[in-house]
Structure 1
Amino acid sequence: MFWRDGEIIEKVSVSDRSFQYGDGCFTTILTKHGNIMLWQKHVARMNTALKVLQIPQPNWSVVHEQLTSVALTTPLAGLKIHVSRGCGGRGYSPSVESGPIVTISCFPYPPHYLSWREEGLSLMLCKTQLGLNPLLAGIKHNNRLEQILMKAEIEQTRFDDGLALDLNDNVVETSMANVFWVSEGKVYTPTLANSGVAGVMRAEVIEALKHLQIKCYEDEYSLSALLSADEIFVSNCILGVAPVKKIEEAALPIGRVTRRIQEYLDQC
């Protein structure tokens, strides 16, 4: 479903700036029996991205109504909100003739996510490295070419996902999730000051750790720091929290802290 200036439209023009330049942002949301989870936090996330991109905010009340109308009523499913700056003339100028354009869609819950949550997932080390871009770091803008190249690597292997480093060889995230690890009872996660996506579930995990009185540190970390961890887990809003059972050929245990965070978030 697409709409612009409150009016539903059937097609997105070839001059749409997201199509032309990736000029916009998006978020994906978990639903339970048609109920939208963490709505206000997704709105805050989108508003942060829209402010950086200098795109006007849509009417979020209207967006919520439309999302509710299309959400699947199954126990678990997903929604996606995509915002484009709109349609404009040729070139990089952000001036648009009309916009922003909001696209919403629903999708079934990926069934393998349930087994990943229980049994863990395997990670490879991607050769594709994330560029350094502090201006856009953290936001989920519509240009995801780095992730597409990572996914192309992963799909040529038997691994479930891939670990991404930046150009300085610091750990950032996976192709689809934020990453955390536990060493001596403390939790570590990469800073996203220069690259990566700050997921809504990442923020939920950090808040959960505060309630569980487990210290969490954010900084730049090398791959060796991650590989020396006692346990590793990943997070995103559709998957939730899932343990990592293997990186390349190194097997990992499913740890107590990972299970505690899963249990805490499932009760929220």
Structure 2
Amino acid sequence: MGKFCTNCGKELGENAKFCSRCGKPTGDNMQNTPINVEHNGEKIEKKWYQTTKGICLWLVIFFPVGIYLMWKYADWKKKWKVTVTILWIAVAIGRIITLGDDTSDVEESLIKNENCPYGATYNFSLEEAKDKTSKILSNYYNTEIDLNQIEETTQEYLNDGMCYMYTVEVPQGYSFGIQFTVYDDKVSDIMIKAGVTAMEEMTSQTEILEDVPKLFSKIVSGMTDDKLSVDDIQSAIEAGNTNYYRNGNAYGICKMQEYSALKMYNYDVSACTEEKAEEAGCLDL
């Protein structure tokens, strides 16, 4: 059974020479059972953060405060305090190292390929990309959309790359294009193309210009290591820039091109190494 200070009632360690609360020498100033102590007529009680439960709670919520409270108020043996301190410092250092390596971890999930414009591909095939995109489109429009059932158009691209294009028609009455660029059987780029005429800009057809950024956000978030929000896209558009980089992805956002009376809006994401992003002058998103 532990010893207790007869002056203030604090539990003391077996070899304690002084009470850590009131400072009184221990010596004979100890007894085997806790006592009710009063100071100016009031019983001395520990505050919640001085108790073992309170200290443990702070160690979980914000460990620097928990460590401080542990050393100041806990009646634990010194070796346990040292062990807890070392453990939490090791966890903090490990977390910092992990955060610092986020970019390299993302790049490891890509496949390096110097033939690609941005030096890498994603680690999924065209068939996998079509299946995932079909599910995303079906969920968004609440109707079955299967890219495998849509006529495919192909076109050769740089350095033996190949583009696969699909025109998607949706119940809302408009259509848009989805394009995948493939190198060595792996997808390197995903693009959504939406076009409107000058006449359509004055009609309800402009709904497509609201839907496509939302779809692009869902496709990027569902198929890459980045969580791209509609707010991210809108901020990029308002900034007036088009080329961005984040988490292993190079973005071309809202590249509008005019073809006579047709305005084409392109949103694309490409697997990209940090080195290639710097060479291309991509901004941080």
Q: What TM bracket, shorter-length normalisation?
A: under 0.3
User: Is the radius of gyration larger for structure 1 or structure 2?
Assistant: 2
Structure possessing the higher relative contact order (Cα contacts under 8 Å, 6 or more residues apart): 1
TM-score normalised per structure 1: 0.25
Hey, which of these two has a bigger chunk of helix by percent? 2
